Structure 1
C-alpha cells in the first residue's frame, strides 16, 4: 500500500489527497464520483446534457433531410453540426473512462480537423465552385487585419488571387494536422509509461504540445477571418456571419481551453478536490471534460437555430421556384401551339400562292412530295425558334430568382428541358 495505494472495487483512498500513480478505471471512477454529492450531481448533469445533445442533433438531421434538397450542402451542414455531439460524447466518455481520455481527445480532434476542411468546402460551394469564387471576388479587396491580429491596422488590403486564396486555406488547414499530431505524440508518451517514470518531464512536454496546438488554432482562426472578410458581402443571404462566428468559438473552446488547463496543471494551480485523487492533471481533465460536456448542448441549440433559418429560407425559395417553373411551362404550351398554328397558316398561304392560274407558264408546278418536305422543314425551323424563345424566357426568370436566392443553374436547367413543345 503506502503512498501509492491502488484502489479496488471495494476500497476508496483513505485520504482525498492520497498520491495515485495510476489513473482509476471506469468502475473506480464511478465509485469516486458517487461518493460525494457534488461530484454525483456533476456526473448526472453532464450525462443528461450529453444525451440531450445527441437527441437534438438527431432531430436537426431529420429536419434538414426533409427540408433541404441540395445533396452536397446538406451533407456538409449535417457533418458540421456533428461537431457538438461528438465533443459532448467524447467528454462524458472521458469522465467515465479516464484512462481513455487521450484516445477520446484524439478522435474529437480528428473529427474537428475534417470539419474545418468541410467548412472551407461549404463556403466555396456557396460561390458555385472555386472558379466562380475567383470570378466573383476578383475585384474585391479585403484587409489582412483580422482576429487575432485585428489590432495591427498597419496590415494592408489585398485583392483575392489564387495565391492569396491558397495561403488563407493553408493557414486554416494546418490545424487539421498539427492538433492531431500533438495528441498522437502525447498518447505515445502516455503508453510508453513516461507519465509514471518522470511526471515532471511529461507535464513539460504536455505544455509544449498544447502551446503548439494553441498557436496553430490561432493561425486557423486568422485564416477563417480572411475567408469571412472575402465572403461576407456576396454570401450575406447564406448566413455566413453566424457560421464563421460559431466555427471560431468552437475552435477556441476545444483548443484554447485545453491549453489553459494544461498550464494550470503544470504549475499546480488546480489543487485537490475531494473525493477526486490528489492529482492536478487528473482533476484538471475531469473539470475540463465536464465544462465541454455542459457547453456543447447550448452551442448546438444556437447552431440549430441558425441552420434552420438557412434551411427554411431555401425551402421557401425552392417552393417559389417550383411554382414559377410550373407557370412558365404552362404558358409555354399555348405559345408553342400559337407558333404551330402560324406555321400552318403560312404553309397554306404558300400553297395558295403556288396554285394561282396566272403564274408564269415556264415554271412547272412542284410535286406534292417536295411541297410536303418544304412544309416539314419550315415547321421544324419554327418549332426550334419557338423552343429557343421559350427557353430564353425560362432562363430569364430563373436567373432573376437566382439573384434573389443564389441557387445553382445546373439543377434549374435540367428542369427547364422538355422533350417536345408542339
Structure 2
C-alpha cells in the first residue's frame, strides 16, 4: 500500500548546498560537471572575444544591439552553470537570465532597424509600404486585421511594445525578490492566493506583447535583409527563447507534478531544475558558436538608395557578409 511506503527525507528538503554536491559526485558526475562547466566557460570566453571584435570593427550605431543579442546564449549558459553548482541560487540565476533576455527582445528589434540604416533611413525607404500586423504570437490567426502605415508613430509603438517587457521584467523581478525575502513568494506556489502565479501570468502576457513587434518587423524585413542572414539570426533568437523559457517551464512543471523522480540529495523539483540547467548549458554552448559565425563579419556603409523602384522592399543593404 502507498501508505506504508517510506519516502527518503531528502526528497522533501531544500536543494543541497554546493559542498554536498562536491562530496557526493561519482566519477561520471565529476566528468559531467567538468565538461558542462568547461562549455559554459568557453561560451563566455567566445562572447568576450566577440565583443572585442564588435567594438573594433562594427559601426557605433550597431555595437550595443549586436553585443546584447550575442550575449543571450553565453549569459544564460553561465547562469545555468552557476545554478547547477549552487542549486539554492536557482531562482536568482533564472531571474537574471530572464531579465537579460527581456532586454535582448528589444535589442533584436533595434538591430533589424539599424541594419537598414536606423530610424530615419527606415522611414525614408519604407514610407510607401505598410506593416502586416496579423502575425504571431498575438494575431497570427487574425487575417482580417488591416495593414498599418509605416510612420514615426507606428515605429515608436513597435519599439514601445518591446521596451515595456525589458522594463517591466526587471520591475517584476525586483518585486519577486522583495516578496521572497518576506516569505510571500514561492515559485512552486500555484495557489490563486499566491503572488507567484499572478506575477508569472503578468510576465507571460508582457512577453507575448513584446514578441509581437519583433515578429512584425522581421516579416517586413526578412527579404530585404536576407543577404545579412537575418533569417538564421532570427531562428537563433527564437531558439534561445524556446529553450530558455518553454523547455525549462515544461521540465519544471513535470518536476512539480512528481513525474521526475526524486534522487537524493535532490528532491523531484530540484532534480528538474538540475536537468533543465544541464541541458541549457549544452544548448547555449552550441548556439554561442553558431551566432559567432552569423555575426562575425565586416560592415560597409549603407548606400543612399532613394531611387529604389521595388515597392515590396525597403532597399537592399550594401553590407555584405564576408567569409
Q: TM-score, normalised by structure 2?
A: 0.79
Q: Which residue of 2 aligns with 1:146?
A: 135
* 1:35-50 map, 5 Å: 36=26, 38-50=28-40
Please point out which of 274, 287, 293 is paired with 1:305: 293
Counterpart CA distance in 1 for 2:175 and 2:255 is: 19
Q: Which residue of 2 aligns with 1:282?
A: 270
Counterpart CA distance in 2 for 1:92 and 1:243 is: 25
Counterpart CA distance in 1 for 2:241 and 2:127 is: 29
Contact 1:138–1:161 (Cα < 8 Å) also in 2: yes
* 1:144-293 map, 5 Å: 144-148=133-137, 149-194=139-184, 201=191, 205-272=195-262, 274-278=263-267, 280-293=268-281
| 1:79 has 2:68 as partner | yes
Q: Which runs of 5+ in 1 are unaligned?
A: 1-13, 322-397, 408-422
Q: Deviations over 1:173-232 (max 9, x none)?
A: 232134334433443343334579x96759965444334333332332222111112323
Please point out which of 104, 108, 120 is paired with 1:119: 108
Counterpart CA distance in 2 for 1:29 and 1:217 is: 35
Counterpart CA distance in 2 for 1:140 and 1:217 is: 27
2:131 alignment partner, SS class: strand
Counterpart CA distance in 2 for 1:297 and 1:306 is: 15
C-alpha distance 49-118 of structure 1, shift in aligned 2 (>3 A): same
Counterpart CA distance in 2 for 1:120 and 1:195 is: 32
Contact 1:57–1:81 (Cα < 8 Å) also in 2: yes
Counterpart CA distance in 1 for 2:136 and 2:190 is: 34
Higher helix share: 1
Counterpart CA distance in 2 for 1:102 and 1:179 is: 14
Counterpart CA distance in 2 for 1:228 and 1:199 is: 37
C-alpha distance 306-176 of structure 1, shift in aligned 2 (>3 A): same
| 1:23 has 2:8 as partner | no
* 1:303-342 map, 5 Å: 303-308=291-296, 311-312=297-298, 314=299, 317=300
Q: Which runs of 5+ in 2 are unaligned?
A: 1-5, 306-314
Counterpart CA distance in 1 for 2:23 and 2:12 is: 16
Contact 2:105–2:210 (Cα < 8 Å) also in 1: no
| 1:108 has 2:97 as partner | yes
Question: Higher mean Cα deviation, 109-118 or 85-94?
Answer: 109-118
Counterpart CA distance in 2 for 1:24 and 1:202 is: 29
Q: How far did 1:16 drift?
A: 5.3
Instruction: Name which structure has the greater RCO, CA cutoff 8 Å, separation 6+.
Output: 2
Contact 2:75–2:97 (Cα < 8 Å) also in 1: yes
- The total of aligned residue pairs comes to 304
Contact 1:207–1:266 (Cα < 8 Å) also in 2: no
* 1:342-381 map, 5 Å: none
Q: TM-score, normalised by structure 1?
A: 0.62
Counterpart CA distance in 2 for 1:69 and 1:182 is: 34
C-alpha distance 201-30 of structure 1, shift in aligned 2 (>3 A): farther
Contact 1:25–1:99 (Cα < 8 Å) also in 2: yes
Coordinate RMSD, CA, aligned: 3.3
Q: How far did 1:48 drift?
A: 1.8
